[in-house]
Amino acid sequence: MNRVLLVLLLSVCLLAPGIGSANPNGVGAGEFDAQCGGACHGDADMNRSSSAIITLSAPNEIYEGLLTSITVQIESVETTESGMLGVFLLSGLSGSQDTPADAGWDIVSNSEGNAFNYLEIMVPNGRPTVEVTWTLKAPPVGEYSLYGAVHHGTEDGSEAPFYGVSPNALSVNVLQVPEDLPRLSPSFEPQIQRDIGEPTTMVLTTEFVTEMSIEWRTSSENTVTIQATKDSEDTWSFELPTSIQPGMIEWRAVMSGEGPEQTTPWFQLRSDEPAWEVDNMLVYMQSFAMLFALMAGFMALQKTLSGPEKKVDYGELMIPPGGEY
- What is the third-level CATH fold of 178-275? Immunoglobulin-like (2.60.40)
What pLDDT sits at residue 37?
54
Q: What's 228's DSSP letter?
A: P
Entry pTM: 0.72
CA separation, residue 283 to residues 13, 275, 293, 294, 296 (Å): 32, 17, 15, 17, 20
Q: What's 16's DSSP letter?
A: G
Pick the CATH number of 24-176 from 2.60.40.150, 3.40.50.12710, 1.10.1030.10, 3.40.50.300: 2.60.40.150
What pLDDT sits at residue 297?
72
Helix (H, G, I), strand (E, B) or coil at 303: helix
CB-based burial, 62-88: b 16+ in 10 Å, e otherwise = bbbbbbbbbbbbbeebbbbeeebbbbb
| Boundaries of every domain in the chain | 24-176, 178-275
Q: How confident is the chain (325 residues) per 10-residue block, as mean pLDDT?
A: 47 42 64 68 62 93 95 87 88 89 94 88 85 95 96 70 90 95 93 88 96 89 92 95 89 95 93 64 68 71 63 56 56
What pLDDT sits at residue 18?
42
